Amino acid sequence: MPELDDELMERFQKGDEGAFTLLVRRHERPLINFIAQFIGDRDSAEDLAQETFIRIFQAAPRYKRGRAQFNTWMYHIASNLCKNELRNRSRRERHWVDNTVKDDDAEDASAGVESRIANAPADASYQPDVVLERKELRDALRKAVAALPEQYREPLVLRDIQGLSYEEISKVLDIRIGTTKSRINRARLILKDKLKPFMEKL
């Protein structure tokens, strides 16, 4: 049975650095994904994820088991770093990212369309126009998520992409559960309206 995050933190507090490495391995993928979806920039996402782990490393002696889940604590740190980053960006200039979060599947899709056509199976989803439409939809979705107001984007990413519960999200964002639910519903409604033209094509 894998050790709980709290147990790993306790081991790290006692000087076992291997426990910290395990924590990093366990959380690096979801953390980078959250940051990338939140700020819309893959390169900065890695930097911010590393910064988050460094903050955790520094704050480890103050971490107390049971006060908060490691997961929500980590996302809370990352969320604050992301907000700072977004604030700094908008201060520097409106240097928004279009080229940033790369959809690996989508890239593969466009590169591999020809080979897929060549091997075209009976499945309709492998039809070239369907593949391209899905790519369009996915690009539009990414842009729509990135364009959501920050207060809606963050809970939406935590819920629908990271899979956190409403309770966990309300702890990360330090808001009430009711507010969390209504913000997520609002974010989904905005996305639905933006994606309507693409959805109706499919």
Q: Binding residues for another protein, per CB under 8 A?
A: 10, 13-14, 21, 24-25, 28-29, 32-33, 36-37, 42, 45-46, 49-50, 53-54, 57-58, 60-66, 101-106, 137-138, 141-142, 145, 156, 160-161, 181-182, 184-185, 188-189, 191-192, 195-196, 199
CB 162 within 8 A of CB 30: yes
Whichever of 13 and 179 has its CB closer to another protein, that residue is 13
Shortest Cβ distance from residue 156 to another protein (Å)?
7
Shortest Cβ distance from residue 90 to another protein (Å)?
22
CB atoms within 10 A of CB 141: 16
Whichever of 22 and 118 has its CB closer to another protein, that residue is 22
Whichever of 128 and 178 has its CB closer to another protein, that residue is 178
Shortest Cβ distance from residue 27 to another protein (Å)?
11
Shortest Cβ distance from residue 74 to another protein (Å)?
14
Only one residue has tokens 């650095």, namely: 17
